Chains A and B, each alone.
Chain A
Amino acid sequence: MNHFDEMACLLYLEGQLDPARSRELAAHVADCAPCRDLLHALQHETILLSSALTEDNESMPARLASAQVRSLPSWVWTLAFGAFAAGAYWFWTDGIGPWFDQLSNAGFGGTDVFSMIVFTGAFWEGWSDMIDAMQIGALILVAIVVIGWIRRRLRRSVAIAVVISALLFALALPPQAGAAEVRRGRSILVPVGEVVHNDLIVSGPSVRIEGTVEGDVIAFTRNLTVTGHVTGDVIAFSEEALIDGNVEGNVRVFSRDVNLQGAVGKNVTAFGRSVDTISKSNVGGGMIVLAGEADLDGKIQRDLLGMVGRTDLDGLIGGQAWIRGGSLTVASSAEIRGPAKFEGPQQPVVEAGAKLASPIQTEITQERQRTRRSTARVAIRAIFGYGGALVVGILLLVIFPGFFRATLRETDSIGLPIGVGALALITGAFLLVLGILLLIVGIGAGVAGVMAYAPILYVAQVFVGTWLGNKIMGQPSAVTSAVVGRMAVGLLILRVAGLIPFLGGLVWLLVLLWGTGAVLLGFYRTSRAESAPNAPLPA
């Protein structure tokens, strides 16, 4: 008689043989010991396989313990980050500039408190420390991104090892090996005749570029002097900046005093208390000035855009001019080849002999107009603030779901968090005063402690908003997208309520106290609950 092969035996065991053949095999096995043994061995193997596969040898990772976080549609991220980036940009360009302007208009001179805090004294000495901190922060951020990216491909331990070794490698590298040359020191000088064949990043109290830099110059310094030749851009954060050489690219300077005496191939952006250009200076492109006062004697080949407290115009503007600010004086030697527009509280003074393509179109800014403008600004601010808060909320929810839930639970008990928040605010205000005092006395580090309070204030609205959303849209959910939806609705309501005059202020105060208290309590509970596994979901 013929034996059945292994295939048939397996199919028989798995109930996959047709009935006739199945009967045949059963009959054969009854008489045939080898086939019976094979059947048993196969069955044994099946049992072994099945138990090896189903054995509960590994617990489920914590991040899978509750509902998932991946359900967030990608457009939410795109939108949120877009709003965030736009908000940051707006804040930088529109928020800070006019503020400077206002400060200067209000008569704060070179020795005013603000300049002292930002540009001089103790804080300024700390610049290089700040740069270190920024670099470390950036490195950590990069590391997190890299870990996230690698983790999908490698085991965790390998990924961490890779990232750490990459970091160590990066730290161990001499700075010169980077894409740009980095120099640090008390006094940095690129002497006449020296040619730097690279971008140059410098930080130190004094920077002088007398030689040639074939690339960009990025400077963090107190005194920047460029008398040499820079083929790229000059980007500087400084107290005093003097550009007396030849810059082929753009000049972007954030400085208390900006002095332009040389030639710039492209555009100039100057941001400071005072901006001066002398008559021999030449800007190949346009110029943007955000300053307390501007004395423009040089040539600007294209447009001038200025938000300046007091403007003296003596030179040439090849294109059009648009200036907003306190006052404008156009000297007899001045020439504007394009249309000119001035917005300010008083008529510009145009001396006889000034060459204008057309009379200066003047708009006297009045109270009514100001309100309208500021209403628009408030609306924009509210929209970006909303986007920012939403981003912060989503990030918290995704990155720290445990903390998020704990804080949300705390928000629910209204009285306690408000009390804690009020206490924290008073403490915070005390610290703020202390910090400012310390700062003025001269210890810049004092400000850091106060700074830590700011993010909590921002986060506060997230939790109150989510709480509000939960109240309006029904029971809280464990699903991320639903939480985000409730957060979005709640935050929107808070924003709108916050816009109401007077009442809005009270709303914000309440949100601030309540949310801050909840966040602090949430921190407290999360740190305490660390040892307790799987905190229950909110009911």
Chain B
Amino acid sequence: MDARRHPEGMSPAEQAVAHERIALAKAGNAEAWGELYRQYAPAIFRFCRRTMPTREDAEDATMDIFVKVRQKLSQYDASRPFSAWLYTVAANHCWDLLRRRKLRQDLETGEVEKMPLEHPDPGQLEQLIERRTGQEMRRALDKLPARSRMALVLRYYAEMSYDDIATTLGVRRTFVGVVLLRARHQLREILEGQGGAKLAAGGAA
């Protein structure tokens, strides 16, 4: 587990410090809250950066999320990992924002269920994703419809459970897998398109 994403995935001693910090912040200690903020803000900013369309949106969302977190801190159940709770708040906030915008066209749920899932050729898939840089992947992710991108970020960045993803995106739990798989297929299509363009460019040169 990446310590930057899930900062309390650390040694027990550090965990104890983190727990105390959360408890202090809960009790209204501004200093502890500041620490907590500094600890988690980069991860949340990156989360927003991955889900929101622009950097400015991500900055605004990060601020708003921490305002919300601070207000809701008393509701946090200490038996759960703090980062999981934080990501739930962040995910709900960002998803709300996206939904309120005019991204509705790619939010329809109906088609998820009847999507044909072709069985890919493993060799082709390997070839497609081989030697892909992180930047190429991110560029492709940016082109995904909002919900597909959101689903992938929730799962592979925030490492949220299928249950939490289902709640956040408002789909039945059994369809979370479908949403994720569909998102991967869309991503592959985009990568394929990029690869084709790349090949064509290479041929011309």
- Which of A's residues lie within 8 Å of B, judged by CB? 3, 5-7, 10-11, 14, 16, 34, 37-38, 40-42, 44-46, 48-58, 60-61, 63-64, 66-71, 151-152, 154-156, 475, 477-479, 482, 537
Q: Name the distance in Å between A199's Cβ and chain B's nearest Cβ.
A: 38
Residues of B within 8 A of A38 (CB): 119-120, 122, 125
Give chain B residues whose Cβ lies under 8 Å from the Cβ of A7: 117, 177-178, 181
Task: Report how far A519 CA is from B107 CA in the complex, Å.
Answer: 52
Of B5, B122, B178, most A-chain CB atoms within 10 Å: B122
Asked if residues B129 and A44 are in contact (CB atoms below 8 Å), the reply is yes
The answer to whether B152 touches A53, judged by C-beta atoms less than 8 angstroms apart, is yes
Given contacts A14-B177, A70-B63, A70-B64, contact A54 B137 (CB under 8 A): no
Tell me whether B138 and A52 are in contact (CB under 8 A).
Answer: yes
| Residue in A51, A53, A64, A151 whose beta carbon sits within 8 Å of that of B45 in the complex | A64
Within 8 Å by CB of A11, from B132, B152, B177, lies B177
The reply to whether A475 and B162 form a contact with Cβ atoms under 8 Å apart is: no
A68–B66 CB distance below 8 A: yes
Chain B 1-26, CB-CB to A under 8 Å as 1, else 0, gives 01011000000000000000000000
* CB contact between B119 and one of A3, A56, A58 (< 8 Å): that residue: A3
Q: Smallest CB–CB gap between B173 and chain A, Å?
A: 9
Q: How far is the CB of B50 from chain A (nearest CB, A)?
A: 6
Residues from chain B with Cβ under 8 Å of A11 in the complex: 177
Q: Could you name 8 residue pairs across A and B whose Cβ atoms are closer than 8 Å?
A: A41-B125, A46-B156, A53-B138, A57-B138, A58-B49, A64-B45, A64-B62, A68-B37
Pair A67/B37 contact, Cβ less than 8 Å: yes
Asked if B67 and A45 make an inter-chain contact with CB atoms under 8 angstroms apart, the answer reads: no
Q: Is the beta-carbon distance between B157 and A50 smaller than 8 angstroms?
A: yes
Which of B's residues lie within 8 Å of A, judged by CB? 2, 4-5, 30-31, 33-34, 37-38, 41-42, 45-46, 49-50, 54-57, 59-60, 62-64, 66-67, 70, 117-120, 122-123, 125-126, 129, 132, 134-135, 137-138, 141, 152-153, 155-157, 162, 177-178, 180-181, 184, 187
Given contact pairs A10-B180, A46-B156, A155-B55, A71 touches B123 in the complex (Cβ within 8 A) = no
- Give the Cβ gap from B156 to chain A, nearest Cβ, in Å: 4
Find chain B residues with CB under 8 A from A57 CB.
134-135, 138
9 A-B pairs with the lowest CB-CB distances in the bound complex, closest first? A52-B137, A37-B122, A477-B30, A53-B157, A41-B125, A52-B134, A38-B122, A55-B134, A50-B156
What is the distance, in angstroms, from A182's C-beta to the closest C-beta of chain B?
A: 36
A14–B49 Cα distance when bound, in Å, is 25
Task: Write out the residue numbers on chain B whose beta carbons fall within 8 Å of the beta carbon of A44.
Answer: 126, 129
Q: How far is the CB of A521 from chain B (nearest CB, A)?
A: 25
Complex Cα distance, B141 from A161, in Å, reads: 27
CB distance from B188 to the nearest CB of A (A): 8
Report whether B156 and A37 are in contact in the complex, using a CB–CB cutoff of 8 Å. no
Known: A67-B37, A155-B55, A478-B30. A41 touches B119 (CB 8 A): no
- New contact pairs (4) apart from A34-B122, A48-B132, A68-B63, CB-CB < 8 Å: A68-B67, A70-B64, A475-B30, A478-B30
Q: Given known contacts A56-B4, A60-B42, A64-B41, is B33 in contact with A40 (CB within 8 Å)?
A: no
Known: A48-B129, A48-B132, A71-B70. A56 touches B46 (CB 8 A): yes
Query: What is the CA–CA distance of A295 and B120 in the complex, to the nearest angstrom?
Result: 97
Which residue, of B55, B156, B187, has the highest number of chain A Cβ atoms within 10 A?
B156
A3 and chain B: residue at smallest CB distance: B119
Does the CB pair B56–A155 fall under 8 Å?
yes
CA distance A51 to B129 in the complex (A): 13
Interface contact A64-B56, CB-CB below 8 Å: no
Which residues on the A side are within 8 Å of B54 (C-beta)?
154-155
What is the CA–CA distance of A44 and B188 in the complex, to the nearest angstrom?
A: 13
- The complex places the Cα of A537 from the Cα of B37 at a distance, in Å, of 13
**B159 to chain A: closest CB distance in Å?**
9
Query: CB-nearest residue of chain B relative to A482?
Result: B30
Whether the pair A64, B129 counts as a contact (CB closer than 8 A) is no
A478–B134 CA distance with the chains assembled, in angstroms: 36
Taking the closest CB of chain A, its distance from the CB of B153, in whole angstroms, is 6
Q: How far is the CA of A155 from the CA of B59 in the complex (A)?
A: 12
In the assembled complex, how far is the CB of residue A8 from the closest CB belonging to chain B, in whole angstroms? 9
The residue on A at minimum CB distance from B58 is: A61
Picked from A40, A52, A60, A478, the residue with its CB within 8 Å of the CB of B141 is A52
Q: Given that A7-B177, A45-B125 are known contacts, is A479 also in contact with B30, CB under 8 Å in the complex? A: yes
User: In the complex, what distance in Å separates the CA atom of A6 from the CA atom of B2?
Assistant: 27
Shortest C-beta distance, A154 to chain B (Å), equals 7
Bound complex: CA A58 to CA B138 (Å): 12
Closest Cβ of chain B: how far from A5's Cβ, in Å?
A: 6
- Cβ of B132 to closest chain A Cβ, rounded Å: 6
Chain B residues contacting A156 (CB-CB under 8 Å) are 55-56
Contact of B137 among A3, A48, A58, A478 (CB under 8 A): A48
Contact of B67 with A70 in the complex, beta carbons under 8 Å: yes
| A479 in contact with B33 given A46-B156, A58-B49, A63-B59 (CB within 8 Å) | yes
